[in-house]
Amino acid sequence: MFDELISHLINARRCVVLTGAGISAESGVPTFRGKEGLWGKFKPEQLASMDAFMASPKIVWEWYNWRRELMGQVRPNAGHLALVEMETLFEEFDLVTQNVDGLHAMAGSKSILELHGNIYRNKCVDCDGIFEFRGDIAPDNIPQCGHCGGKIRPDVVWFGEMLDPEIIDAAFAQSEQADVFFSIGTSAEVHPAATLPVVAKNHGATLVEINVEETTLTELADFHFIGKSGDLLPKLVAQLKERRSLAQFPELA
């Protein structure tokens, strides 16, 4: 199934992977789009925007407490773990994620750029001071910043907000230098994240998509595989490892 792709991977020096909510779906974290997705049940502008927070920090924190609790109960799945192994198979490997669940780090991936923040981190709405705190925030008694007295919010990117320029710039730089770029478990509908695969392809990378369904990116991809990342990635990594060792020790072939 992966034979032709693996011939490309064998010669690739730098691999960049972009992940979205789909890679955590098999861990039990809901995705955003589609019938079962969070944005099918909730209105993003009422929960994930600065306006919503200023209007009702209580409702916003109740929602984030619920998501934290849910994410706190889940573990990395076979897809996250396969990416940890994949990191060892390339000279350079970068993981860029839109997910805020921290599951890539928990799995053991090292070079991770979290484009949309991390749900376990908090920051001050006024001075951007960072507060690491994983537990629930009392929605009726939201903590204030010790430096300036501003309200504490989750350190995730909300609708209408800019991404951290250092992080997104680094992601673009990595994508431009990629020999192979994987887009895994993302609908590729949210920019600037969805621009990264396009930039990689325009700079000569082989573009690979893994998703349970086709996306707007599928047409551009050199290879696309329909299936669950937790099924496909371990198989791909096993085949790549085998081909890499055969390439190293041709006498075994």
Residue closer to ligand OAD, measured from CB, 25 or 60: 25
We find the least distance from the C-beta atom of residue 19 to ligand OAD, in angstroms, to be: 8
Encoded tokens for 65: 């407490």
Alpha carbon distance 178, 95 (integer Å): 11
Spatial neighbors of 66 by CB under 8 A, at least 6 apart, are: none
Residue closer to ligand OAD, measured from CB, 120 or 243: 120
Residue closer to ligand OAD, measured from CB, 206 or 215: 215
Interacting residues toward ligand OAD by CB under 6 A:
20-22, 25-26, 31-33, 37, 48, 98, 116, 157, 185-187, 189-190, 210-213, 215, 228-230
Alpha carbon distance 218, 209 (integer Å): 7
We find the least distance from the C-beta atom of residue 250 to ligand OAD, in angstroms, to be: 35
We find the least distance from the C-beta atom of residue 189 to ligand OAD, in angstroms, to be: 6
Alpha carbon distance 123, 150 (integer Å): 9
Alpha carbon distance 137, 134 (integer Å): 9
Residue closer to ligand OAD, measured from CB, 43 or 147: 43
Using Cβ positions, the residue closest to ligand OAD within the complex turns out to be 22
Residue closer to ligand OAD, measured from CB, 22 or 57: 22
Residues in the chain: 253
We find the least distance from the C-beta atom of residue 71 to ligand OAD, in angstroms, to be: 13
Alpha carbon distance 122, 134 (integer Å): 9
Task: Out of 8, 80, 104, 116, pick the active-site residue.
Answer: 116
We find the least distance from the C-beta atom of residue 214 to ligand OAD, in angstroms, to be: 9
241 sits in which H/E element: helix 229-248
CA angle 209, 181, 207 (to 5 degrees): 55
19 sits in which H/E element: strand 14-19
DSSP 166: H
We find the least distance from the C-beta atom of residue 83 to ligand OAD, in angstroms, to be: 12
Residue closer to ligand OAD, measured from CB, 7 or 66: 66
Alpha carbon distance 66, 56 (integer Å): 16
User: With contact defined as beta carbons under 8 Å apart, do 177 and 14 qualify?
Assistant: yes
Please confirm, yes or no, whether 116 is among the known catalytic residues.
yes
Alpha carbon distance 188, 215 (integer Å): 7
Active site residues: 116
